[in-house]
Amino acid sequence: MSQGNLACRVCGGRLAEFFDFGRQPLSDAFLTPDDIDEEFFYQLTVGACESCTMVQLTEEVPRDRMFHEDYPYHSSGSATMRQHFEQLAKHLIDTELSGRDPFIVEIGCNDGVMLRQISKAGIRHLGVDPSGGVTRLAMADGVRVLTDFFEESLAEAVLADEGPADVIYAANTICHIPYLDSVFRGVDLLLKPDGVFIFEDPSFGDIIERNSFDQIYDEHFYFFTLRSVQAMAERMGFELVDAERLPVHGGEIRYTLARKGRRRPSARVAELTAAERVLDLAAPATLERFAAAVRNIRQDLTRLLEDLRAEGKRVVGYGATAKSATVTNYCGIGPGLIPYVCDTTPAKHGKLMPGSHIPVLPAEALAEPFPDYALLFAWNHAEEIMAKEQAFREAGGRWILYTPKVHIL
Ligand code: DWN
Ligand code: SAH
Ligand code: ZN
């Protein structure tokens, strides 16, 4: 473990680096052959704060390089996720949004996967997301959106135009924002005195438990634990009043924050915090074990792919995820081992995967003809994808997974 002199982005404490993935490309920068010469790389290193335990990247990629007009991730691309957000919308409508003229702001609304339900129910809402391609899809679905980055100044403008919010919600977005002080100050401005700030993000506990190292990439700047979220909330005058484990994206936690003293914390907060404490997630020994497991995965995966190639087997990739950038580039997997990756997202078709330059083809390419093996990069959608691709199994195809360790299904 190398000990840099870096400071925690949220509390200023000392950051202890625990894994270095080397130079990495932007995870969602799918390329045309013309783009290759100007491909952008950054140093992907992750550390844990010795003071507040917040796990974070040590280098910040400028936000406009990641989130812009051509941001390719469409949240509605998974039936499981559509259902997940539909359920949440219903729950919010029945609870926090059941008063008179409620108002909800969503940070990182993407294509409107959640807010379209709120809009359908006729509830006042506003999405904020800087990625114009996806926000246009949300607008076409009847969602009100500001195509911009949420931060303190934007919150001030929203408050002036729309008044205070009952709920500020974000999924898979707060962990993408290095400048959390500004976000919290914005939330503090915009939220009603008794309002709630609810956000859900990959949990570091699940990452450690599943060795899901591919959750680590440019966009995922922070990796939250209950403890680090509590520390951050407290510093900003908030308090964690509820926490719920979610099964999506390989294990997440939904945090509910309120201003300090305004709501009584649920029993779940104490239960989950106690369970988390036992895991000692930011301890050097835990992080060293994780680092060793990641190195083993790299060795086992490259060896497996090389052996299969030597045997003349065909292996293709499935799911051109942001996560896969870390896997392919850290493991050195290129078109020689995986000739193409199948994916349902039109914006990724015909493009090359960042760094590895493996071509992305439509999902139908899996059957042309079925390969012997498919490496499942979208392992978080395994159930949905395997159900959809039963013909591949029936043709004798097998799935390769690499978390928590390399195995074949
Ligand atoms: O945090 C983030 C999450 C929410 O989304 C962002 N930083 C970026 C993105 O991460 P990701 O690309 O790793 O997300 P997913 O949801 O694992 O991506 C799944 C990919 O697989 C998409 O490109 C769509 C594709 N897919 C498919 O080809 N067939 C997905 C499903 C469900 C399918 O059936
Ligand atoms: N909530 C969706 C989208 C997650 S992808 C889901 O769970 O599927 C992350 C999203 O955050 C992207 O759409 C990106 O454009 C957006 N984003 C990044 N920084 C942001 C910021 N400062 N304010 C608002 N949205 C932001
Ligand atoms: Zn810290």
Q: What is the pLDDT averaged over residues 216-225?
A: 98
- In 213-266, which residue ranges form alpha helices assigned H by DSSP? 226-235
Given a contact cutoff of 8 angstroms between Cβ atoms, the answer to whether 301 and 278 are in contact is no
- Give the residue, out of 321, 341, 349, 383, with the most ligand 1 atoms within 8 A of its beta carbon, to mutate for a pocket test: 321
The alpha-helical segments, DSSP class H, found in 32-120 are: 63-66, 79-94, 115-120
Q: Please report which residue ranges of 311-409 form alpha helices under DSSP H.
A: 323-331, 382-388, 390-394
Longest Cα–Cα distance in the chain? 67
Which pLDDT value is given to residue 147?
Answer: 98
Residue to probe by mutation, ligand 1, list 65, 223, 381, 401, most atoms within 8 Å of CB: 381
How confident is the model at residue 203, as a pLDDT?
98
Mean pLDDT, to the nearest integer, of 235-263? 98
* Residue 1, pLDDT above cutoff 80: no
Mean pLDDT value across the chain: 97
Cα 250 to averaged position of ligand 1 atoms, centre (Å) = 12
Is any ligand 1 atom within 6 A of the Cβ of residue 214? no
Give distance in angstroms: CA of 252 to centre of ligand 3: 21
Domains 75-284 and 285-408 share a fold: yes
CA–CA separation, 54 and 13 (whole Å): 10
- When pLDDT is cut at 50, 70 and 90, the band that residue 87 belongs to is very high
Q: pLDDT (tens digit, 9 = 90+) per residue, 323-376?
A: 999 999 999 999 999 999 999 999 999 999 999 999 999 999 999 999 999 999
Residue extents of the structural domains in the chain:
75-284, 285-408
Mean pLDDT computed over 205-220: 98
Least confident window among 4-8, 101-105, 292-296, 356-360: 4-8
Ligand 3 centroid to residue 55 C-alpha, Å: 8
pTM: 0.98
- pLDDT, residue 212, reads 98
Contact 8, 38 (CB under 8 A): no
Question: Stretch 179-208: mean pLDDT, rounded?
Answer: 98
Instruction: Show the beta-strand stretches assigned E in 172-314.
Output: 191-202, 222-223, 238-246, 252-259
CA-nearest residue for atom 5, ligand 1, is 73
CATH number given to 285-408: 3.40.50.720
Separation CA 189–CA 194 (nearest Å)? 12
Predicted pLDDT at 5: 74
How far is the C-alpha of 96 from the C-alpha of 89, rounded, in Å?
Answer: 10
| 277 Cβ contact partners less than 8 Å away, ≥ 6 residues apart | 227
Ligand 1 close to Cβ of residue 323 (< 6 A): yes
* 88 three-class SS: helix
Q: Is the beta carbon of 88 within 6 A of some atom in ligand 2?
A: no
Which pLDDT band, with edges at 50, 70 and 90, does 17 fall under? very high
C-alpha 134 to ligand 2 mean position (Å)? 10
pLDDT of 238 higher than 50: yes
Q: Which ligand lies nearest to the CA atom of residue 324 in the structure?
A: 1
The CATH superfamily label for domain 75-284 reads Vaccinia Virus protein VP39 (3.40.50.150)
List phi, psi (to 5°) of 81: -70, -35
Whether residue 395 is predicted with pLDDT greater than 90 in this model: the reply is yes
End-to-end CA gap in the chain? 34
Q: Is 134 in the pocket of ligand 2 (CB under 6 A)?
A: yes
Q: Is 388 in the pocket of ligand 1 (CB under 6 A)?
A: yes
Q: Look at residue 4 in the predicted model and tell me its pLDDT.
A: 52
Cα(125)–Cα(107) distance, integer angstroms: 11
Question: Which residue, by CA, sits nearest to atom 4 of ligand 1?
Answer: 172
What pLDDT score was predicted for residue 220? 98
Residue 13 CB coordination number (10 Å): 17
- Report which protein residue has its CA nearest ligand 2's atom 11: 108
Taking the centre of ligand 1 as the mean of its atom positions, its distance from the CA of residue 378, in whole angstroms, is 6
Percent of the chain with pLDDT over 70: 99
Residue nearest to atom 10 of ligand 2 (CA): 108
pLDDT recorded at residue 2: 46
- Report the pLDDT averaged over residues 115-120: 98
**CA–CA separation, 360 vs 286, rounded Å?**
36
* Neighbour tally for 75: CB within 10 Å: 21
State the Cα–Cα distance between residues 295 and 281, nearest whole angstrom.
Answer: 19
Q: How far is the CA of 227 from the centre of ligand 3 (A)?
A: 11
Token digits for 250? Answer: 């390989």
Following CA atoms 352, 357, 361, 365 in sequence, which dihedral angle do they give, to the nearest 10 degrees?
A: 170
Q: Is 224 in the pocket of ligand 2 (CB under 6 A)?
A: no
pLDDT confidence of 218, banded at 50, 70, 90? very high
